[in-house]
Homo-oligomer: A and B are copies of this chain.
């Protein structure tokens, strides 16, 4: 259990100066082949591993980027995280991951931690009101990019997905396969995502003269909430039923599907076409594979890192003008069996 070898130990062992060892590690071209070989051998023999704390102390900042998400268990964020890690690795940075779990105090703790660690920058999908903290960080030279939240370009960079467009896509698809009596199933419209998706759907319906859209409020965003709405539906008389249902997320859609499947009189997609949102793993393996709206999570994660890099560039010692961009992605329609085939009978 010996203390780790330092660059000084390596220097002694290789009979060179510490500066030379440093050069071998950072500017190999400045060192002659002979010396380089000797140093590398010494490094190997001593099992030397750079001490990142010392590097970072000297450099004034770390080579890490903080990323705080609302819920790592959510496949949406899992995918964003992975993409961000890969993109960061390409530019030689590592990602420190924090999971706020929708809890403002956990979020705040992570911001503290990351600030102590002197991260290069911060990616965050905020829970609480963190604008003050973020402003303070920026003043210290630590830029922020908001993730999955549209920000005022005058203040922050951000990456987000156009939920209105997604809602439009879903409703438009139902209309395209001939459905006219649509229903929207979603939780409280106080959630921005839900409101936007509904709005997009309404926009699509307004474009088709004889189409209608009914809004069915669900108690939440879970499978059980969906089943609650589904149970109401199956109790209706046939001429009162929608022929196309758009759910604000896949869990709700799966719940609705379960209700319809248990009663064996209504068929998907023949009687009711069904589409969800998010394209979670379970969508493809549902009893009837579920059509859905896929969000470009990889692009979100990758772009967030790119925007952060732009912010860092813009803060270079030369230019001090802030540089913000709000990138909005458009989601994508994924058609499966639950909306397959032509129009309803």
Instruction: Give complex CA distance A99, B99 in Å.
Output: 13
Distance in Å from the Cβ of A256 to the closest Cβ of chain B?
12
Q: Is A315 on the interface with B (CB-CB < 8 A)?
A: yes
Check A96–B99 contact: CB distance below 8 A: no
Contacting pair A54 B57 (CB below 8 A)? yes
Nearest-CB distance from A225 to chain B (Å)? 10
A99 contacts B82, C-beta separation under 8 Å: yes
Report copies per complex: 2
Query: CB distance A118 to B255 under 8 Å?
Result: no
Range class of the A interface residue count: 35 or more
Q: Do B73 and A62 have beta carbons less than 8 Å apart?
A: no
**Once the chains bind, are B264 and A52 in contact (CB under 8 Å)?**
no
Across-interface contacts of A227 in B (CB, < 8 A): 285
Please encode chain A, from 156 to 181, with 1 for each CB lying within 8 Å of some chain B CB and 0 for all others: 00000000000000000000000000
* A240 smallest CB distance to B (angstroms): 25
Which residue of chain B has its CB nearest to the CB of A5?
B140
Contact bitstring A11-26, B, C-beta under 8 A = 1, else 0:
0000000000000000
The 6 closest A-B pairs by CB, nearest first: A223-B285, A73-B78, A53-B56, A52-B116, A53-B57, A53-B53
